[in-house]
Amino acid sequence: MSDMGTEARPDGVRLQKVLAQAGVASRRAAEELIAAGRVSVDGKIVREMGRRIDPETAVVHVDGARIVVRDDLVYLALNKPRGLLSTMSDDRGRPCVGDLIVERGMVDEHFDGAPRARLFHVGRLDADTEGLLLLTNDGDLGHRLMHPSYEIEKTYLAEVVGQVSRDLGRRLRAGIDLDDGPVSVHSFKLVDFNAGRSMVELVIHEGRKHVVRRLLDEVGHPVQRLVRTAIGDVRLGDQRPGRIRPLTRAEVGSLYRSVGM
């Protein structure tokens, strides 16, 4: 592709400055990326050093990975503790994610005191489920991540009652009929067995309510503890319960790729 037809914005910001501000590279290194044809704007490769763009509307990729160039977009990963509601507020005063965001100072840090309603959670975890919950104000990305057509993989660790049979993984991959239709897992493995309980890991595309708990209950292994450890390539790792961290540029890029943005 060439840069012919890519609309320049005389009143915009120089592309190399936008890349530097986004943390991609220094301005000099950004110029080298542009000269090498590794940067595209709105789907077209740009090699012009003086190119100006509007960071509010331009879609910029470097080496095929989308770069977030708007400075008002926020991407956070929360390790949701057990007992916390996946809501930004609760009219009954129950502990919720929105309270934790205010408590950790994330509102002032990212929004200069703007109300917490500007952030929203991507999907939900029920109150008794722990683990990774994404928070953002990027509506386009959030909508796609939650839409079932994109089949975003979610990884869970579940502690269940009993010792799982050797063929359980095969059964779950083949599909189990629930009240609201069949459900299958992408992968399944036994992690540990101790004192009459099994620790299993499963990867699933589904987003239906309580689907992991209902699935494992249906096959005779009620869940005692459930933790979501990954969404796509974003992983919980050693992040402590209650901790909120910004996603890395690579993590945000991987989420964009997973939904074709």
By DSSP bridging, strand 223-231 and strand 130-136 are parallel
139, 124, 163, 183 alpha-carbon torsion, rounded to 10°: -60
Hunting for tokens 């009219």 — which residue is that? Answer: 91
Q: CA-CA distance, 207 to 132, in Å (whole number)?
A: 14
Decide if 41 contacts 60 (C-beta within 8 A).
Answer: yes
From the candidates 90, 126, 180, 192, which is the catalytic residue?
126
- 57, 73, 113 from 118: Cα distances, Å: 19, 10, 11
Q: CA-CA distance, 40 to 6, in Å (whole number)?
A: 9
- For the chain, the first-to-last Cα distance in angstroms comes to 18
**Does 112 participate in catalysis according to the annotation?**
no
Closest CA to 71 of 135, 34, 17: 17
Q: CA-CA distance, 138 to 182, in Å (whole number)?
A: 32
Find the helix or strand (DSSP H, E) in which 160 lies. strand 154-161
Q: CA-CA distance, 99 to 87, in Å (whole number)?
A: 9
By DSSP bridging, strand 181-183 and strand 130-136 are unpaired
What crossing angle do the helices spanning 249-258 and 139-146 adopt, rounded to 10°? Answer: 60
> Looking at the annotation, which residues are catalytic?
126
